[in-house]
Structure 1
Amino acid sequence: MLVLGRSQVEALIDMDALIDAMAPAMADLSAGRASAPDRIAALVPEQEGFLAAMPGYVPSTGVLMTKLVSLFPRNAATPLPTHQALIVMFDPATGEPAALLDGTAITAARTGACSALSARLLAREDATVLAVLGTGVQARSHARAMCRVRPIREIRIAGRSPAKAAALAAELSSELDTDVRAMSPIEALDGAHIAAATTHALEPVIRRPWLSGGVHITSVGFNPAGREVDDATIADALVCVESRQAALAPFPAGSNDLLTPIRNGVITAQHIHAELGELLSGSRPGRTSPDQITLYKSVGVAVQDAVAAALVATAAREQSVGTDITLE
């Protein structure tokens, strides 16, 4: 069995290849060719956290796997990531364990990659200004991924801590060929062409009066007691998801950003316009005008982890990276 640690996984991830690989995975999911049941979780209420299991099978890439992922929002105030994970891959022909991978790095990369895929499908071609709400792992992943699918020339970082926002802006400035600045959420969203929400917010950080026409929004944050996007934005936007079933599932699988306005009668479940796979197949249309607001709400699905793990494991074998162990 191949064993890969976090630093090895990070070194093996090819973001361009990962963004491309997300497309057939999303198409398989929407067409019913892939299996990705709703995640289940053991709750840790005293820490406001949980440990979830996410199994998945993608026949087109020959990947059978499961991810164990913990979400502890209080880690945001510590050096530890809020999401930490392990992925186990199995031989789909025999069920034999084949690989054990750090899943924390894969979760960060695949989430940003699928948001970038949504931008490729829905953002305006001339999108050059990116607003990133948040200063953690996903903020970094989204800033890097979005620059690969649109000609981003300006990145605006907004977070609860101005010091963390400034530090992230300096970090990204040193590696990306673009202007990166820290500012308030209202300033960051004013005139932005793409807005990436990557927070554990209790109250919405994306609000309709702060948005300009034509913006594409990606929302990947999760807080059991909160949400990232307000009702007015949800109501006005063309809303897309990975999977309707996953997005509308009860806690801990679904999205408060969609479930809350449904419960409040602001929208119905039919307001979800499309799954990404339906946009890819052409069975549902995407953006229809330059001024249309589009929104991709992600809850994370196992097929994303499956294709990311497959790419990493293949690269590890080709480069003779990692440790092989024999199971007794």
Structure 2
Amino acid sequence: MPSDARLLLLDKNHVEALLLPDDVLQAVREAFLLHSQGEGRVFPVVREPLATGGVFGIKSGDVQAQGLLGFKAAGFWPNNRQLGGEPHQATIMLIDPATGRPVCILDGNAVTTMRTGAAGGLGLQQLARADSTRLCLFGTGVQARVQLSFALRLLPALAKVRYVTVDGKRDAAFEAEFAHHCEISPARDRNAAVSESDIVITATPGGGALFEPQSVQPGTHLNCVGADTKGKRELPQGLLERVRLFVDDQEQARQIGETQWAPDTPCIELGDLLTDKARVDRHPTDITVFDMTGLALQDLTVARLLHQRAGAAGIGSSIPWSW
């Protein structure tokens, strides 16, 4: 048996240095294509509450034709805020499918953040009206920031952003980050902000409905990020019955996404739009929703990209991992 096998470790700093938005966008697009074409498999999701107050999950999958196999162990630990840490924690492992040996372990926080932002951007490209100029954003945290970044990157017509915070207060640091790219200010009334917007992005912990259903006007598109566990939601009851619904994975969305609250709602997977398996002739008055629960394949295609790039650049810590 070989005794010279090695394992590459990529920490937070390594990962953040290697991540580039355009490359992540392409890797996430590939993940959607693989999923739609049946070449990439998504295994059943683990998502369980812990006695510590956290939520632990595993997302895994493979692409047999590409020799890609792995998983992400991740979750949400709200008490981390009291320790000065990030509540979301994630670690990704790539595995050699021929031997079961781990080949790379990498910090998954930045990967999760950016691949989710890229998925949201692809949803906007496919589903939002081309003339959209006004956006309402719920949240100002890490995920809200990356969702807005990709929205502004991919929809240059966006000019006006209203954001909603949990306490209703202004977030000066958040505004400063985007002030050079759009007109941005806090929403005085969340329902009015939704009503006046072409695009609504919800990026909160998913603790409950964020606005009244009647505030959503014909023609609006919504990207929903926060519902990723049983019992979570951001959309009000009754809204999904009025919309054209799109998801990343139908079964996963029914289990842990917004779709858990209306599991019989007809839906289309976003990857099927990218592969032309499905077509959407969007009418100006359609309300569209992209219910995002996150695909393991997105983590794996981005992680593979980072693994390859780190190997070529000699970045990371390579340690013996004998058989």
Give TM-score, length-normalised by structure 2: 0.89
- Selected match of 1:180 from 170, 180, 184: 184
Aligned: 1:292 with 2:293: no
Aligned to 2:235, the other structure's residue is in SS state coil
Cα separation, partners in 2 of 1:73 and 1:292, compared to 1, 3 Å: farther
Aligned: 1:90 with 2:84: no
- Percent identical among aligned pairs is 28
**Deviation sequence 1:86-114 (CA, Å, 0-9, x none):** 11111233332111110011111111111
| C-alpha separation in 1, matches of 2:211 and 2:9 | 40
Q: Displacement of 1:233 after TM fit? A: 2.1
- Selected match of 1:311 from 305, 315, 319: 305
Unaligned runs of 5+ in 1: 263-267
| C-alpha separation in 1, matches of 2:310 and 2:36 | 29
| C-alpha separation in 2, matches of 1:245 and 1:201 | 19
| C-alpha separation in 2, matches of 1:15 and 1:62 | 24
- Selected match of 2:106 from 101, 109, 130: 101
Q: Displacement of 1:206 after TM fit? A: 4.3
Q: Displacement of 1:156 after TM fit? A: 1.9
Aligned: 1:170 with 2:169: no
Aligned: 1:27 with 2:28: no
Structure 1 residue aligned with 2:238? 232
Amino acid at match of 1:179: E
Structure 1 residue aligned with 2:68? 63
Structure-to-structure mapping, 1:30-41, within 5 angstroms: 30-41=36-47
Note if contact 2:138-2:203 (Cα within 8 Å) is conserved in structure 1: yes
Q: Displacement of 1:187 after TM fit? A: 4.0
| C-alpha separation in 2, matches of 1:182 and 1:11 | 32
| Of 115-124 and 20-29, the range deviating more from structure 2 | 20-29
**Deviation sequence 1:242-295 (CA, Å, 0-9, x none):** 11111123xxxx22x222234xxxxx2xx2320011111222222421221110
Structure 2 residue aligned with 1:265? none
Give TM-score, length-normalised by structure 1: 0.87
Structure 2 residue aligned with 1:132? 137
Note if contact 1:135-1:164 (Cα within 8 Å) is conserved in structure 2: no
| C-alpha separation in 2, matches of 1:204 and 1:101 | 34
Aligned: 1:196 with 2:196: no
Note if contact 1:247-1:258 (Cα within 8 Å) is conserved in structure 2: yes
Aligned: 1:259 with 2:260: yes
Cα separation, partners in 2 of 1:89 and 1:319, compared to 1, 3 Å: same
Q: Displacement of 1:221 after TM fit? A: 0.3
| C-alpha separation in 1, matches of 2:222 and 2:57 | 26
| C-alpha separation in 1, matches of 2:8 and 2:62 | 19
Structure 2 residue aligned with 1:159? 165
Aligned to 1:232, the other structure's residue is in SS state coil
Note if contact 1:133-1:159 (Cα within 8 Å) is conserved in structure 2: yes
Note if contact 1:81-1:137 (Cα within 8 Å) is conserved in structure 2: no
Note if contact 1:68-1:86 (Cα within 8 Å) is conserved in structure 2: yes
Amino acid at match of 1:167: A
Note if contact 1:135-1:168 (Cα within 8 Å) is conserved in structure 2: yes
Aligned: 1:44 with 2:50: yes
Structure 2 residue aligned with 1:302? 296
Amino acid at match of 2:184: V
Amino acid at match of 1:277: G
**Deviation sequence 1:181-234 (CA, Å, 0-9, x none):** 222422432322221101123221143222232221111103644410113321
Note if contact 1:166-1:181 (Cα within 8 Å) is conserved in structure 2: no
Note if contact 2:36-2:275 (Cα within 8 Å) is conserved in structure 1: no
**Deviation sequence 1:62-90 (CA, Å, 0-9, x none):** 42111110222455677433320111111
Cα separation, partners in 2 of 1:123 and 1:155, compared to 1, 3 Å: same
Note if contact 1:131-1:189 (Cα within 8 Å) is conserved in structure 2: yes
Aligned to 1:199, the other structure's residue is in SS state coil
Aligned to 2:125, the other structure's residue is in SS state helix
Q: Displacement of 1:37 after TM fit? A: 1.0
| C-alpha separation in 1, matches of 2:91 and 2:287 | 36
Amino acid at match of 1:72: W
Q: Displacement of 1:155 after TM fit? A: 2.2
- Selected match of 1:11 from 7, 11, 17: 17
Aligned: 1:279 with 2:273: yes
